[in-house]
Amino acid sequence: MVARDGQRDWLYSYVPIRETGWVVAVGRPVDDTFATVISFQHSLIIALIMLLVGASVFWFVMHGWVVAPISRLAQAVAMIKPDQSRKVTNHRLLVREKSRQDEIGRLVNAFSDMEEEIHTLFRKSDEQSYSRLQTLDALLFSMDEGVLLEDPAGEVVYANHRFTQFVGMSMPVISQDTFQPKHLTERMEALAEKPEAYLEALHQAESGAGPQVIEFQVHGYYNQLGQLVPSRRHIRMRLFQVQDMAGQLIGRGKIMSDVTRQNEAEQVKQNLLAIVSHELRTPLTTIKGYATSLLETDIEVDEHMQQDFLLRIVEEGDRMAELVTSLLEMSQLEAGTLKLAPSLCRLDILLTRVLENAENGQLQIQLSLPDELPVIYIDQRRIEMVLRNLLENARRYAGGEAEVAINVRYTQEPEESGICLSLEDNGPGLPAHLTEQIFESFYQVDGGRERSSSGVGLGLAICRGFVEAHGGHIWAANRGDGKAGASFHIWLPERLLHTANSPVRPFKLEEIF
CA diameter of the chain: 191
pLDDT value of residue 511:
37
Select from 398, 383, 364, 367 the least CA-distant residue to 474. 383
User: Could you state, in chain order, the average pLDDT of each consecutive group of 10 residues for the chain (513 residues)?
Assistant: 73 78 76 78 90 87 78 76 69 71 79 80 83 84 86 84 82 70 82 89 86 89 79 89 88 89 75 69 84 80 84 86 79 80 90 74 81 88 88 80 87 81 89 83 58 63 89 90 88 82 49 34
Alpha carbon separation from 422 to 464, 476, 491 (Å, rounded)? 14, 10, 9
Alpha carbon separation from 243 to 63, 134, 214, 249 (Å, rounded)? 51, 22, 22, 5
CA distance 129 to 122: 10
Would you give the DSSP letter of residue 504? P
Select from 223, 228, 219, 177 the least CA-distant residue to 198. 219
Select from 461, 471, 464, 489 the least CA-distant residue to 376. 471
CA distance 131 to 138: 10
Select from 475, 431, 433 the least CA-distant residue to 230. 433
pLDDT value of residue 495:
87
Pairing type for strands 364-368 and 343-345 reads unpaired
Q: How far is CA 469 from the centre of its chain?
A: 34
pLDDT value of residue 455:
61
**For 77-121, how does the pLDDT look when each residue is reduced to its tens digit (9 = 90+)?**
777 776 666 776 676 667 677 777 777 778 878 878 887 788 788
pLDDT value of residue 130:
82
CA distance 496 to 382: 15
pLDDT value of residue 361:
59
Alpha carbon separation from 151 to 143, 172, 252, 274 (Å, rounded)? 22, 17, 6, 48
pLDDT value of residue 360:
55
Domains and CATH numbers, the chain: 2-78 (no CATH), 143-258 (3.30.450.20), 264-335 (1.10.287.130), 343-498 (3.30.565.10)
Select from 401, 400, 405, 402 the least CA-distant residue to 423. 405
Alpha carbon separation from 220 to 187, 191, 228, 362 (Å, rounded)? 12, 6, 6, 41
CA end-to-end span of the chain, whole Å?
A: 136
SS3 label, residue 416: coil
pLDDT value of residue 177:
64
pLDDT value of residue 93:
66
pLDDT value of residue 354:
86
